[in-house]
Structure 1
Amino acid sequence: MNHPENRRSRRLRRFKPLAAAAALVLALAACGAPASAPPGQQGSGEAQDGAAGGDKIVIGVGGQTLLTYMPTTLAQELGYYEDEGLNVELQDLQGGSKALTAMLGGSTDVTSGYYEHTIQMQAKNQPIKAFVDMGLSSGLALVVAPDQEGSIKSIADLKGKNVGVTSPGSSTDMFVKYLLAENGMKKEDASVSAIGAGSSAVAAVENGQVDAAVMLEPDVTVLAKRLGKDPVIIQDVRTLDGLKAVFGTEAWPSSSLYAKTDWLEQNPEDAKKLASAIKRTLEYIQTHSGKEIAAEMPEKYAGGDVDQYAAVIEELKATLSKDGAFTEEGAEAVLKTQRIANPEVGDKEIDLSTTYTNEFVQ
């Protein structure tokens, strides 16, 4: 199979005559990565260039600059959705709960969000099913704001503090509640504030708008660069070792593609094609370097430091799924954390077999 065209070369096909295309190539070649602020929060907001005919599929992403959702964007940049004959639009909704709400409201078809949302919705009798797994770890880190480093040294010190999360009800919020409960505290002992992802999250922590925050990559690394030192981190599941220490498991399915169960029943071929595109992307990630992957991603996501971005991607690769398939053990681990962190799940009867499927990635 030939290497897929990258984002730039696909877009160049639009320009005629050839002289104009050549001029644009030269202009692009002369430009390096922009000297910009930390990664922004705007998604691509456009359908796949040159996509085949058919109805557009809108995927809402729970924070498109976050590397936990990188496969969703990378599949578009590599042209894999187009290869499958799909017309895909990605919408950056800057938080998992916002992306879920958009799908439930009908403004998106599919969500690139955390698998745990399917469990939450079953508890509310709203059938949602995940059909391709991208992450083996939640990739979260509980970071202390610089002006609170002397007073917050453990989970117990979060009492009475304000913790930043991407959005209330999101996976970052659930992580705070889980940690509080596991340390014998009430979920209300710490308040949470929405700080989004990307530049807004980095600024909120750097400027002391929150006392601590649950962050993901590349935001943690960008924050360290802006501070000139590594931030204090009191819980970290960005690695598989950290995941096992916090959740007691080696697999905790996180970023995934999920949709309403009736959408999957009505659009099985589209679901299969989406799963195929993501599975190919996961294989691409495992066989290419962080530098090669960074080169395929939108330049603005690197926040002006492509080498740093590439290094973070290289570290992230170990926590991504290799084949897009869910495991029963991983699903059980997520359910366990939801029972502890989320009173809306609690001890309700949950049939995990209806919250995910591997039929489309096989």
Structure 2
Amino acid sequence: MRYVSLFLTFLLIIPLVACNNDKTETIRVAEVTRSIFYAPQYVALSEGFFEEEGLNVELTTTWGGDKTMTAVLSDGADIALVGSETSIYVQAQGSSDPVINFAQLTQTDGTFLVAREKMEDFSWDQLKGSTFLGQRKGGMPQMVGEFVLKKNGIDPHNDLELIQNVDFANIASAFASGTGDFVQLFEPQASIFEQEGKGFIVASFGKESGHVPYTTFMAKQSYLDGNKEAVDKFTRAIYKAQQWVQTHSAKEVAESIQSYFEDTPLETIEMVVDRYRSQGSYATDPILDEEEWDNLQNIMDEAGELPARIEYSTLVNTSIAEKIISE
């Protein structure tokens, strides 16, 4: 009887061990905003790539770079999806637990120049003397905006009236209500304005500014050190999604992520995905290279927003992405 009891106990232990090995791990992700610009992230969620890795990703939209970084620094989130410039700001303040960029999602600026009137033969010098409704001072969109203006021979503080005191969430409505001759907008708002006849896309800041680590996944060094397997799985799921976006049609991508943009028509999502993909905005792998890092700091420096030049190796870890790609 004793041996039967031991045998039954052994049989009960086996499924408990198996269940423990199959345990799903939760990762809390804070995204800086909700945007079609981040399509591969939503594909990873909707196509089950995180689930395949045994991960439960809890996604929260924190609406702003400062709030997103605060969530990570205060342990309110494990991973942030935000512009790499935020990690530089934190490091320049003397952080003892640096926030490390480990997987890149977008590699160009995601904004477009929208004019109030249709302009068939647009040239950048047409902005001279105009009123330009730009993005929030210190943020990556604003810095790229000024960089592109200067690149095209325009002094943003002397050649036009530059408005930068409108909150990110209210920029589109401010333009719609009559503020500005030109505005710098993300999608899908730029395309929606075109459809409604409220504005017309005349140029892409992403094409003009070149490759930068515009939006990356980052986490505190302590989190990366203590959760190596989970971070590997997370990066693997993102890489699968990046490849999926490149090998499927814009319509298929739009259908995959539509549940994250319920108020946006499927046709508009498809158009935006196609526009971002055609200009190379979606990174095709998670590696943030040094040339992009240097370009980012040059743009920040040009805008007078670079607190200190930080070495690539200090805030960028490519070993995780490289390992995943080589598998």
2:190 corresponds to: 220
Q: In the alignment, which of 251, 257, 276 is matched to residue 316 of structure 1?
A: 276
Distance in 2, Cα, partners of 1:185 & 1:309: 32
Structure 1: 5+ residue stretches without partners? 1-51
In the alignment, is the contact (CA less than 8 A) between 1:59 and 1:111 conserved in 2? yes
1:237 corresponds to: 205
Going from structure 1 to structure 2, the CA distance change for 1:195 and 1:185 (only over 3 Å counts) comes to closer
User: CA RMSD, aligned part only?
Assistant: 3.2
Q: In the alignment, which of 310, 327, 332 is matched to residue 294 of structure 2?
A: 332
In the alignment, is the contact (CA less than 8 A) between 2:44 and 2:241 conserved in 1? yes
CA distances 1:205-248 after superposition (whole Å, capped 9, x unpaired): 222356643222222111211226x5254x5234xxx2xxx33x
CA distances 1:164-214 after superposition (whole Å, capped 9, x unpaired): 53x5532223234434665345499734134435xx554332223566432
Going from structure 1 to structure 2, the CA distance change for 1:138 and 1:206 (only over 3 Å counts) comes to same
Superposed counterparts of 1:185-196, under 5 Å = 185-186=156-157, 190-196=162-168
1:103 corresponds to: 72
Distance in 1, Cα, partners of 2:70 & 2:166: 15
Superposed counterparts of 1:112-131, under 5 Å = 112-126=81-95, 127-131=98-102
2:6 corresponds to: none
1:62 aligns with 2:24: no
Distance in 1, Cα, partners of 2:180 & 2:195: 19
1:292 corresponds to: 252
1:208 corresponds to: 178
1:341 corresponds to: 303
Distance in 2, Cα, partners of 1:87 & 1:221: 33
Compute the displacement of 1:87 (Å).
2.0
Distance in 1, Cα, partners of 2:115 & 2:65: 22
The amino acid that maps onto 2:186 is L
Compute the displacement of 1:302 (Å).
5.9
Distance in 2, Cα, partners of 1:94 & 1:204: 18
Q: Relative to total residues, which structure has the larger helix share, 1 or 2?
A: 2
The structure with the larger Rg is 2
CA distances 1:71-100 after superposition (whole Å, capped 9, x unpaired): 222211111112111121111123333322
Distance in 2, Cα, partners of 1:164 & 1:93: 21
1:133 aligns with 2:95: no
1:19 corresponds to: none
| Secondary structure of the corresponding residue to residue 90 of structure 1 | strand
| Secondary structure of the corresponding residue to residue 360 of structure 1 | helix
1:253 corresponds to: 213
In the alignment, is the contact (CA less than 8 A) between 2:25 and 2:54 conserved in 1? no
In the alignment, is the contact (CA less than 8 A) between 1:56 and 1:87 conserved in 2? yes
The amino acid that maps onto 1:206 is A
Structure 2: 5+ residue stretches without partners? 1-21, 119-123
Going from structure 1 to structure 2, the CA distance change for 1:189 and 1:209 (only over 3 Å counts) comes to closer
In the alignment, is the contact (CA less than 8 A) between 1:60 and 1:108 conserved in 2? yes
CA distances 1:136-162 after superposition (whole Å, capped 9, x unpaired): 211222334569xxxx9645436xx56
Superposed counterparts of 1:146-165, under 5 Å = 154-157=126-129, 161=131, 163-165=133-135
TM-score (norm 2): 0.77
1:82 corresponds to: 51
- Percent identity at matched positions? 22
More deviation, 203-212/329-338: 203-212
The amino acid that maps onto 1:140 is T
1:271 corresponds to: 231
Compute the displacement of 1:121 (Å).
2.7
In the alignment, is the contact (CA less than 8 A) between 1:202 and 1:222 conserved in 2? no
In the alignment, is the contact (CA less than 8 A) between 1:163 and 1:193 conserved in 2? no
Going from structure 1 to structure 2, the CA distance change for 1:260 and 1:285 (only over 3 Å counts) comes to same
TM-score (norm 1): 0.70
Going from structure 1 to structure 2, the CA distance change for 1:203 and 1:86 (only over 3 Å counts) comes to same
In the alignment, is the contact (CA less than 8 A) between 1:67 and 1:216 conserved in 2? no
Compute the displacement of 1:310 (Å).
0.9
Q: How many residues align?
A: 292
More deviation, 177-186/315-324: 177-186
In the alignment, is the contact (CA less than 8 A) between 2:31 and 2:81 conserved in 1? yes
Distance in 2, Cα, partners of 1:143 & 1:125: 39
CA distances 1:44-80 after superposition (whole Å, capped 9, x unpaired): xxxxxxxx7455322111111x222222222111111
Compute the displacement of 1:285 (Å).
0.3
2:311 corresponds to: 351
Going from structure 1 to structure 2, the CA distance change for 1:59 and 1:157 (only over 3 Å counts) comes to farther
Going from structure 1 to structure 2, the CA distance change for 1:304 and 1:298 (only over 3 Å counts) comes to closer
